[in-house]
Structure formats: C-alpha cells, structure tokens
A and B are shown apart, each in its own frame.
Chain A
C-alpha cells in the first residue's frame, strides 16, 4: 500500500515491520522524528519493541549492542555530533561481529554548529567495519532498512549495518512510499540469526584482551566478511525484489543510469542523484552523452562493478562530504578503483553544510567539466553554486 510519508516515517515503518525487539534512543536533529514515530507506535500499541531511553548516543549504541548480544533484533538512529559521541561503540559493535542496524540521517559536523545536510558524518565511518548503504529516496530508506537486518544477520556477514539518508532532504520530505504488509515482510525476513548469545547456561567471553596474532586474525575476518557481503547483498536484493517490492532494482550494489553509451559519467550518492538524473536527461536532449553512477553501498565497495561502469569514460565525482586536505571521500575511492582506466577524473566537493545543489547547478557543473576536462583531465576543487557572501571571521580563510 502506498502512503505519503517522510523518510524518517518510512524508516520507522521498516523497523516495526522487521519485528525489532529493542529500540535504543537518544534524540538528535534531523533523526529525531524516527524515534518519535516509533514511540508513537509504541504508545498506540502498534509496536511490540521495548524502547530504551538513554542519556547519550554512546549509551544508545551500548543499549542496542547489549540487546543484540542477548539475542534480540535491535535498532538505533542518530546523526552528526551524536554519531561522533557514539564513535567508540560503533567500532566496538563491528569488532564484536554483532548484527544490528542503525540509520543515520546525515548532517554536517560542528564546529561551527550546523543542522543541515552533508554526508561527512556517515562517510567518516568507512573504516569502522560496518556494512554501509545509502538511500536515494524515502522508498529506498524503507527497503534498505528492511534488507539491512537480513544482510547484517547473514552468517557470511555477521556485521552491523548502517543505512544513511540525507538529513531533511530525505528525512523530512513526504512522498508516496510503498509500505509492504507484515506477512510479506515475514516471508522475506527470517528470525534473528547471530554468532553468539549471552546465556548464563552457556557462558562466552566477549571483548576480552586478545593476543596480537588472534587480534589480527579477527580484524582480518571482518575484511573477509565485508568481501563476502557483496554476494549476500545482491542475493538479499533479488529476494526482496521477488517477494516484497520490485519497482527499484536491488540486485546490484550500485545503480547505473544511462551509462552504457555515455562518454561522461557523473558519480554520486544519495538524494541529489534524483536531481542529477534530471540534469542527465536534460543534457542528453541537448546532445551530450552523459550518464550517472549512483553509489548505493560505500561498504562493501563494489570495485568490479564500478571499474566496469567507468572504464574508458570521462568521470566527474560529486562529494557531499569531505576528507579535508584530500577533497571528497568518494573521489578518493573512485580514484583508487579506476587507477588510470578513465579518460578524465574530476572530483568536486559541494553541497556542504546544507548548500543547495539542484538540477540547474548540476547541469552547470557538468558543462564546466565537459569543457574543462579537454585541457585538464585531472582536477579536484570545491564548487560553490552561488557567489560566497562575506562573513566576518577571526579565522584565516582563502575563500571569498
């Protein structure tokens, strides 16, 4: 059934449908309405999960981890400063190989204070050992949250999974979303599966001091689990398509759009890929052979898929996130993947801290790339869609 709802409401619906046992919550904009919606469902008797209210995000993840270790499907959500405060536990859960799910409604990181969208809070966790998916619209936020429980709990993976979605742009935008019914989801999502459970009858040691060789083996096992998650994600995606919803293809990790005959390919992630598709269509009408490759999974990173899609093309990578001093993280990943197999490679950081980048700006950017890459095949820069206004600051800065 299609229902008009925001990205945050779509996530809450998925959590309910996944029969989550414990939701561990601490509010932060723009994620808060997820846990508000879950609390509302709980108050109305629609949600059977226990909701644990904690005093910080560190405890929110610790609560979810404890519940998961005890054998219960667990969920939490956060963003920005909250995710940073949770940081230690984020790594701990992955190292413990404990399946659980978190949604990150992305937001810029302070200082200075900023509540608007950017993906750096999400991308900075790419080394933490989580499976990391990123939605493009509220429908994907719902679908991917449901899939994430099964991916995370697959014995070939046994890792936590986070689903990112652009703060406000997806979290607060209301669109028609297909919400599957309970029996459909039950046929797709089996009962919880995990590597070990806290059980007084069968005690296990958790997170103890590990000797160097053993520790190294354990870290290696996470590397291998992320590698084997490629096939799990495709398999789960195909099953979701056949049992639950088929209008979005989940059989691939990343999503090509008009790439087959493209001379130019723009790489992106998240909500602005929608605006980018419009820009691609519009430029194609003007005779420019341009396409798009949308990154849906930052971890695992589908090297083969990506190399195949980009080989021989001129590539522009859009980053709504920073790896300060090195441009954007997607550009770094793409550069290390294509390794000279492309005709041109530009990386641009834009849309930071809520700066709006829509179809018009993207068309302008692509045209700049088409012209500029003729004489300059490699370039890294920050793109400002409008003139930057002057702000009185006491810190040095080059941008005026």
Chain B
C-alpha cells in the first residue's frame, strides 16, 4: 500500500488533490481511499489530506502518520511546521519550490506557482497549484498514469477549467526534477 500525505493551506485545494489521486487510481484498477482532516479549516490555515492506494481493498481508516510520500504545495509550510514528520526513511518529498531544496529524503521539486500563473490559474488572487502539483507527484511516483489523472481532472471540473489544469499539469510533469543531494 502506498500512503500519500498532502500539505497546504485552506483554500488551495488540498482536499481535492487527494480525491483526484484516488479517482485516478480507480482508472488504473487500483483501490484507493482519500480523505481530509477536518477541523479548524479556514482560508490560510494549514490543512492535511490523505490518499491510500493499494491493489487490494483498503480497510484502514485512520489518518496517515507514516507516509511513503509527502506533497507540500505551499513552500512557506516548510519553515512554519514540519510536513515531513513521520515520513518513512525511504520516502519521497514532492515540493512546490522555485529552487532546489535538499532534504534527508528523495526530493522532487517544481515551481508550481509559476506554472499556475503562466496558465492563468488564479482564484481570488491565489495561484491554484493543486492540480499542477499532481503532475509533479505522478512524475515522482509513477504509481498512477498521467492519463488517468487527466481523466479524473476532467470529471471534477467544468470543461474549460479542466483543460487549463490538464495543460498546466503536463507542463509541471515535464519541469519536475529530482534534487540530487550535494551534501552527504
């Protein structure tokens, strides 16, 4: 079973991200369970959502505390809290960042904020990076196909928004790079 934990802020579409990944997994004949932590969610507050993917039916229902993959869609979260807490030793970090970041795990970065801005993905003055970052996630883990994710996006959003997101997601997929560590 693959356990992915998403970190962002209220209003950035973190819950939708987990749902889309789960729906994409279904297209690839995998089981999934996607859910958010609800609580004091409000615009700007730190939010977590979760997605489990497995070839077998998923029975576990509790929040993911030892993820295989952590996706951070708001770069400022890295300094204000600790999104990598509990991440497995051989885990993966997928990060929205304008520059390479060295962490103790395999790390993939993409400047999703720029990609979203280039495609006019702005809502209430915020670049919407959630779907964009899913492109980066698929590049990093390859567990679901990009086409499946695109189908999930098309099902979730109205046609025009979906197409823009799909385009931006592909660009993010291409621009995502693994950061090879310089420090030992």
Nearest B residue to A247 via CB reads B57
Q: Which of B26, B34, B39, B65 contacts A173 (CB 8 A)?
A: B34
**Known A-B contacts A356-B63, A359-B62; A168 and B38 likewise in contact (beta carbons under 8 Å):** yes
Nearest A residue to B40 via CB reads A115
Nearest A residue to B31 via CB reads A176
Q: Which of A3, A115, A176, A275 contacts B61 (CB 8 A)?
A: A275
Chain A, interface residues (CB within 8 Å), range = 20 to 34
Q: Which of B31, B35, B65 contacts A172 (CB 8 A)?
A: B35
Across-interface contacts of B38 in A (CB, < 8 A)? 30, 115-116, 168, 172
Across-interface contacts of B32 in A (CB, < 8 A)? 4, 174-176
Report Cα–Cα, A360/B32, bound state, in Å: 20
Proximity string of chain B (48-67) to chain A, C-beta cutoff 8 Å, 1 when within and 0 when not: 00000000001111110100
B134 within 8 A of partner (CB): no
Proximity string of chain B (6-45) to chain A, C-beta cutoff 8 Å, 1 when within and 0 when not: 0000000000000100110010000111111011000000
Q: Are the C-beta atoms of B61 and A274 separated by less than 8 Å?
A: yes
Shortest Cβ gap from A313 to chain B (Å): 22
Q: Are the C-beta atoms of A275 and B59 separated by less than 8 Å?
A: yes
Q: Which of A74-115 contact B (CB under 8 A)?
A: 115
Across-interface contacts of B19 in A (CB, < 8 A)? 4, 174
Proximity string of chain A (334-378) to chain B, C-beta cutoff 8 Å, 1 when within and 0 when not: 000000000000000000000011111000000000000000000
Shortest Cβ gap from B59 to chain A (Å): 4
Shortest Cβ gap from A74 to chain B (Å): 29
**Known A-B contacts A4-B26, A168-B38, A172-B38; A358 and B59 likewise in contact (beta carbons under 8 Å):** no
A301 within 8 A of partner (CB): no
A218 within 8 A of partner (CB): no
Shortest Cβ gap from B104 to chain A (Å): 23
Shortest Cβ gap from A17 to chain B (Å): 20
Q: Which of A170-216 contact B (CB under 8 A)?
A: 170, 172-176
Across-interface contacts of B63 in A (CB, < 8 A)? 356, 358
Q: Are the C-beta atoms of A2 and B26 separated by less than 8 Å?
A: yes
Shortest Cβ gap from B25 to chain A (Å): 8
**Known A-B contacts A271-B61, A357-B62; A175 and B36 likewise in contact (beta carbons under 8 Å):** no
Per the CB 8 Å criterion, the residue count for chain B at the interface is 19
Across-interface contacts of A359 in B (CB, < 8 A)? 60, 62
Report Cα–Cα, A271/B63, bound state, in Å: 13
A278 within 8 A of partner (CB): yes
Shortest Cβ gap from B31 to chain A (Å): 6
Q: Are the C-beta atoms of B61 and A174 separated by less than 8 Å?
A: no
Across-interface contacts of A357 in B (CB, < 8 A)? 62
**Known A-B contacts A271-B61, A274-B59, A275-B62; A176 and B35 likewise in contact (beta carbons under 8 Å):** no
Report Cα–Cα, A172/B50, bound state, in Å: 12
Q: Are the C-beta atoms of B59 and A175 separated by less than 8 Å?
A: no
Q: Are the C-beta atoms of A175 and B60 separated by less than 8 Å?
A: no
Across-interface contacts of B65 in A (CB, < 8 A)? 358, 360
Report Cα–Cα, A174/B35, bound state, in Å: 6
Report Cα–Cα, A169/B60, bound state, in Å: 10
Nearest B residue to A270 via CB reads B61
Shortest Cβ gap from A362 to chain B (Å): 9
Q: Are the C-beta atoms of A175 and B58 separated by less than 8 Å?
A: yes
A297 within 8 A of partner (CB): no
Across-interface contacts of B60 in A (CB, < 8 A)? 274-275, 278, 358-359
Across-interface contacts of A277 in B (CB, < 8 A)? 59
Q: Can you sample 5 A-B contacts with CB below 8 Å?
A: A2-B26, A174-B23, A278-B60, A356-B63, A358-B60
Report which A residues bind B (CB closer than 8 A).
2-4, 30, 115-116, 166, 168-170, 172-176, 271-272, 274-275, 277-278, 356-360
Instruction: Return the 8 tightest CB-CB contacts between A and B, nearest first.
Output: A358-B62, A274-B59, A173-B35, A174-B34, A271-B61, A4-B23, A175-B33, A4-B26
6 further A-B contacts with Cβ under 8 Å, apart from A4-B23, A172-B38, A274-B58, are A4-B19, A4-B34, A168-B38, A175-B34, A176-B32, A360-B65
